[in-house]
């Protein structure tokens, strides 16, 4: 074997070893995610919420579709997770649902009407800014429409939450929502807040504050109204 052939063989062996290590790492992470999700599902059930675990986004989209009956009126809040997974397109493609998509509104008045109709929808889709391991869902809102719909109105609220949003406690979940999710969303919506400038929460009282409303869902009053789909991927902010 020539020196060049030996070098190529060593490279191939190195790549095989690297691929094996990556595969093992993915398997370990998948096992951990499964165990974490199983524990969280039990905690969410104790809080009177239905919960499911989907290892991938593709499976999550399928589960969301299964949870929505034909003939339903469906809408969603300002959620990157739902949009990034392509859930709006999936809902529209079914052809059996009334889909309220505020992004299609042609006037401010039409958009406002869609905001209001969300409260009478059969299904409201959203994500979360954070969720504690014991099942408390934390959301921060600027306008308040999202947390209002989570609290009251739509017959069913479906959360789609990546495991990257899991925090150990309620306190750390709130910290994640304020220090991670809110500054990113301030950039996304291009609003005039200190966190948009330097990426750090200042606990501000800016007129455009994206943290005007802080919401904790610790228990579902009506069984079956709040449904959580946990996803074994990094989703949203």
How far is Cα 143 from Cα 89, in angstroms, rounded to an integer? Answer: 25
* pLDDT reported for residue 69: 98
Those residues of the chain that have pLDDT short of 50 are none
Q: Give the gyration radius of the chain's Cα atoms.
A: 21
132-189 pLDDT tens trace: 999 999 999 998 999 999 999 999 999 999 999 999 999 999 999 999 999 998 888 8
> In angstroms, rounded to a whole number, what is the distance separating the alpha carbons of residues 35 and 188?
33
pTM (whole model) above 0.85: yes
Nearest to 92 by CA among 76, 80, 108: 76
- Domain locations along the chain: 3-231
* Full DSSP string of 103-145: GG-SSHHHHHHHHHHGGG-SEEEE--SEEETTS-EEEEESSSH
pLDDT of residue 19: 63
pLDDT at 5: 59
CATH number assigned to the domain with residue range 3-231, chosen from the 4 options 3.40.50.10420, 3.40.640.10, 3.40.50.720, 3.40.50.300: 3.40.50.10420
The pLDDT value recorded for residue 185 is 87
């Amino acid at each position: 074997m020539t020196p060049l052939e030996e070098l190529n063989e060593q490279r191939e062996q190195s790549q095989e070893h690297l691929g094996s290590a990556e595969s093992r790492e993915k398997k370990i992470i998948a096992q951990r995610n499964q165990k974490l999700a199983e524990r969280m599902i039990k905690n969410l059930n104790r809080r009177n919420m239905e919960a499911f675990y989907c290892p991938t986004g593709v499976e999550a989209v399928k589960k969301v579709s299964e949870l929505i009956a034909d003939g339903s009126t469906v809408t969603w809040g300002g959620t990157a997770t739902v949009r990034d997974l392509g859930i709006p397109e999936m809902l529209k493609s079914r052809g059996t649902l009334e889909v309220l998509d505020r992004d299609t509104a042609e006037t401010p008045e039409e958009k406002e009407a869609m905001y209001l109709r969300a409260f009478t929808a059969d299904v409201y889709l959203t994500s979360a800014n954070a969720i504690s391991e014991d099942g408390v869902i934390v959301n921060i809102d600027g306008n308040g429409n999202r947390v209002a719909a989570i609290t009251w109105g739509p017959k069913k609220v479906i959360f789609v939450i990546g495991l990257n949003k899991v925090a150990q406690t309620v306190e750390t979940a709130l910290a994640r929502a304020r220090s991670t999710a809110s500054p990113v969303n301030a950039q996304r919506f291009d609003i005039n807040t200190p966190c948009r400038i330097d990426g750090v929460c200042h606990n501000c009282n800016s007129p455009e504050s994206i943290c005007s409303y802080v919401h904790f869902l610790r228990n579902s009053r009506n069984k079956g109204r709040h449904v959580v789909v946990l996803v074994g991927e990094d989703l949203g902010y």
